Amino acid sequence: MTIVDEEMLTRLSEGDPAALQLLVEAYFPILCRFAEKFLPDSSLAKDIVQETFIKVWNNRPSFENIMSLKGYLFTLTRNGCLNLIRSRERQENKHMMAAAGHPLETGSVLTEIVRSEYIARIYQVVQTLSPKMQEVFYLSYEEGMTVRAIAEQLQMDVKAVKNQKYKALVALRSKLKDSGEPLLVLLTFLMR
Amino acid sequence: MEPNGKNIDHAIYIATLLHRLHEGDPLAPDEQEAIAAWQAANGDDTFLQNSKAITDELRRLKNYDTAGAVKTIFGQLGLAVPSRVRRMDTILRWSAVAAMLLVIGAVSVLYFNRPPNNQATITHKPKPILPPGGNKAILTLADGSAIVLDSARNGHLALQGKTNIEKSDGQLMYKNAATTTETLYNTITTPRGGQYAVTLADGSKIWLNAASSLKYPTAFAGTTRQVELTGEAYFEIAADLSKPFKVRLNGMDVQVLGTRFNIKAYQDDTTIRTTLLDGAVKLSAATAGESLLKPGQQATLRPNQRRFTIREVNVNNAVAWRNGYFAFENEDIYGIMKDMSRWYNVDVEFSSHSIESKLGGTLSRYQNAEDVLQVLELTGSVHFSINKKKIIVMP
């Protein structure tokens, strides 16, 4: 479950600017990180990523599915970086940085895309949470911490941490009745 | 095979599956097969199981100016930025919360089900294969007794003559309690994968890189200040015109007034590199005579050369290690791997001796070796495999 899903794609192809905004918010940072693997200069990397979104908007009716839209984001970003490096090399004929100037190895690029997309999916989730919930998320995720430990870390009382989880869960139960077993199993753990 | 539309889309598909797997979402047999095939071809990516690395990355993403990017993009397209994305937003928010709770749930399941006090069963968080080094060293006192500094508590550590030794994280400090004429020597030694800093009794501060050792007096009683170094260290020497500071190396001396400089003098490097940030130092070696170094210059002493080679360099590269980076400029792969070997406490083997990669760039040295190697691999000019505690370098 992420924000950039099939519904978003439909809206994008219909020309809804809100869909573009969501797409940028979800993918701009991770694409910048990806571009910086090729280009040391982060402001150039940023420009290329912005250019990528402009091209996506201009080609918006052409995506078959969400996977090809995301693939297009990474492909355009990568090509943008490589083109810039090539044109610079011609101009300056100089060494740039480690990642620049050499043909990139296919396996590494694909591994990097897998990592980036994996992180992008988590990032979209985290971004929708309140700052407090984000902290709870990081601590749970990073440390496998107990509710008590999280409360101590955040200087909240245990009840408040449980409350945060509880409020989310009550709402979830009514919104996602049909979501099946994993969530029910989960509820029992979170209610301890 | 070039990365193309098809295999890039497939990479996206694999990421989706791996994320679902991580969320505890049951996968269909063909989806499991797709993951297995990917891992057979590309290896199981341990980065994706490293929760710390992932949360670090997530935190980094928040530093990008996404709102600014939205403005720029919409501006260039001549579109108005929508004020709210309400309808979609609320639906998505709930599905996002559900996804997040599944993640927390997965962690909780592992947490609650693990036997008490048995760290080894936390299988969702495998140890990196080659973690970075840290603040580790051994201090040898004047009487020959040794203190392991990584496990020693912070605070007062020992008394040497009339000098107190205080320890804080990654750092020792010598403080004279009274003037003394007695000269006692201490030695601090970092292992491979270690680093440490010392503030001497005169206020000079010295940072020791991995696999290095520094011998120094606990108080400076005489008319000179003299220390002995093997390996690499960065010096910030307190000015004292009445007591010149001298660094003795194997086969070379460095005479110092108040100044900042870096010396790289590993026995297995054969060369000695001295880089001056500011002030002035005079180098002297029986084999190469004397040479005066100016700020911004680096002197290299090679065993078969009868004089120092002096050139202007970017001094930041020479002291990058102290700031937590590897910084290379047109550096050959053999030199880079020596630094890696010392910092990650790992052996390095070259599958061929005709690898002629020269690389440049800056990388954090607080990431795992796997991650550093992966970036080096992106150049396409060198490849690596890791076998237990050994890195194999391939063309």
B214-270: pLDDT as tens digits:
999 999 888 889 999 999 999 999 888 888 999 999 889 999 977 899 999 998 888
Q: Which amino acid is at A24?
A: V
B9 with A54: Cβ contact below 8 A: no
CA distances from B326 to A95, B46, B95, B265 (A): 18, 22, 42, 17
- Residue A179 pLDDT greater than 50, yes or no: no
- Residue A175 pLDDT greater than 50, yes or no: no
A74 with B107: Cβ contact below 8 A: no
Q: What is the distance between the alpha carbons of residues A68 and A74, in angstroms, rounded to a whole number? A: 10
B88 with A22: Cβ contact below 8 A: yes
Quick count: other Cβ atoms within 10 Å of Cβ B246? Answer: 17
The shortest C-alpha distance from B344 to chain A (Å) reads 20
- pLDDT confidence band for B363 (50 / 70 / 90): confident
Query: Comparing A105 with B166, which gets the higher pLDDT?
Result: B166
How many distinct helices (H) and strands (E) make up chain A?
9, 0
A160 in contact with chain B, both atoms CB, cutoff 8 A: no
Cα–Cα nearest to A170, from B107, B112, B102, B97: B97
B101 with A175: Cβ contact below 8 A: no
Question: Would you say the CATH fold of B324-394 matches that of B134-317?
Answer: no
Domain boundaries B324-394, CATH class: alpha beta
| Domain B134-317 falls under CATH 2.60.120.1440 | yes
B380 with A32: Cβ contact below 8 A: no
B177 in contact with chain A, both atoms CB, cutoff 8 A: no
The shortest C-alpha distance from A98 to chain B (Å) reads 5
CA distances from B136 to B133, B141, B158, B236 (A): 8, 16, 18, 21
B82 in contact with chain A, both atoms CB, cutoff 8 A: yes
B49-84: pLDDT as tens digits:
787 888 889 889 988 999 999 999 999 999 888 764
Contacts of B56 (CB under 8 A, 6+ apart): none
A98 in contact with chain B, both atoms CB, cutoff 8 A: yes
Q: Which residue of B has its CA nearest to A121?
A: B19
Cα–Cα nearest to B213, from B162, B263, B261, B279: B263
Which 335-364 residues of chain B touch chain A by CB within 8 A? 358-363
Quick count: other Cβ atoms within 10 Å of Cβ A90? Answer: 8
pLDDT of residue A130: 67
pLDDT of residue B86: 39
- pLDDT confidence band for A159 (50 / 70 / 90): low
Please state the φ and ψ torsions of residue B380, each to the nearest 5 degrees.
75, -5
What structural domains and CATH numbers belong to chain A? 1-128 (1.10.1740.10), 129-192 (1.10.10)
Query: Comparing B388 with B137, which gets the higher pLDDT?
Result: B137
Q: What is the distance between the alpha carbons of residues A135 and A141, in angstroms, rounded to a whole number? A: 10
Across the interface, which of A67, A128, A145 has its CB nearest the CB of B9?
Answer: A67
Q: What residue segments make up the domains of chain B, in order of their start?
A: 5-121, 134-317, 324-394
